[in-house]
Amino acid sequence: METSSLNMWTRCRSRVSSRPLPREAGIIGWRFPSSHNSSTGTSPIPRRYGGTTARTQARRFEARKNKPITVEWVNNLPLEPKLQLPLDTTIEESPPDLPRARVVPHLHGGHILSAWDGIPDAWFAPPGSSPMTGPGFFGTTFEYANDQRATTLWYHDHAAGVTRLNVYAGLAGFYLIRDAVEDSLNLPSGPFEIPLVIQDRMFDDAGQWFYPDQGVTDVHPIWVPNFFGNIALVNGKVWPFLEVEPRTYRFRILNGSNSRFYNLSLTSQQSFIQIGSEGGLLPEPVTLRELLIAPGERAPT
């Protein structure tokens, strides 16, 4: 699998820690360079599919309520991404003369001033691109106020005309906000709190990611209205297996797929408890045997 197009670096200038995903989780797309990662200093964990190393999952942010952070986003993608996904240049905001490697981060569900919300035309491209920035660009340093209750957010690319491909390529990750209320609940933590991002993918015969390029109209000849992959990845791994202890776990589930809904259940038919949703903890826990989760949705938190 080609990986270098996923090498989007960020620098975190705040106290927020950027802990790696759990050991059994996937790899890093948007990541913190270790020299800027005072909390862990860890490197991405390489996994192998089809003989080459894949990096598919971004690091996560850990934030505390009412402790703002400042993030400088650095686009260090290659000018020509080696992972060639079909870009539709018939979309108005995506003419062929724009740099392919343009990005702008959006914190999905976060309380944010519009300037830092990942406005689609506020994109920025790697050094050497022409143009370097979109018409709505204002900077690469974003303020995140974290003035909302504990919840499970995620961030992902939001650049005009290329979001679906950038998210598919791995520019998405968790952003957790914690607070004292949640702390007081003594929920499973540490190795027993496991974020799970579920995404579907397609692979070609060479083990490369594949994205369809046959549109349904002549107007947008390569634009597909929905993408449904035939392989499920969790934290960047294909059909992974997690060994667990006989105890309670906290799974923070994110559907990071482009289009696919999932109806999740335990093969043992056991029930499980949903304690939260997109905006934070539910008024009271709900016991479920199935959990239907839509693209972009998070549960249980």
Q: Report the nearest approach of Cu ion to the CB of residue 158 (Å).
A: 7
Considering the complex, state which of residue 72 and residue 278 has its C-beta at the smaller distance from Cu ion. 278
Q: Report the nearest approach of Cu ion to the CB of residue 37 (Å).
A: 25
Q: Report the nearest approach of Cu ion to the CB of residue 295 (Å).
A: 9
Span interacting with Cu ion, options 105-113, 135-143, 247-255, 263-271, rule CB under 5 A: 105-113
Considering the complex, state which of residue 1 and residue 104 has its C-beta at the smaller distance from Cu ion. 104
- 108 contacts Cu ion (rule: CB under 5 A): yes
238 φ, ψ (degrees, to nearest 5): -75, 125
Point out the residue whose Cβ comes nearest to Cu ion: 108
Considering the complex, state which of residue 59 and residue 108 has its C-beta at the smaller distance from Cu ion. 108
- 252 contacts Cu ion (rule: CB under 5 A): no
Q: Report the nearest approach of Cu ion to the CB of residue 108 (Å).
A: 3
Considering the complex, state which of residue 79 and residue 294 has its C-beta at the smaller distance from Cu ion. 294
Considering the complex, state which of residue 108 and residue 237 has its C-beta at the smaller distance from Cu ion. 108
Site string for Cu ion, 22-61 (x = CB under 5 A): ----------------------------------------
Considering the complex, state which of residue 236 and residue 295 has its C-beta at the smaller distance from Cu ion. 295
Give the footprint of Cu ion on this chain (CB under 5 A). 108
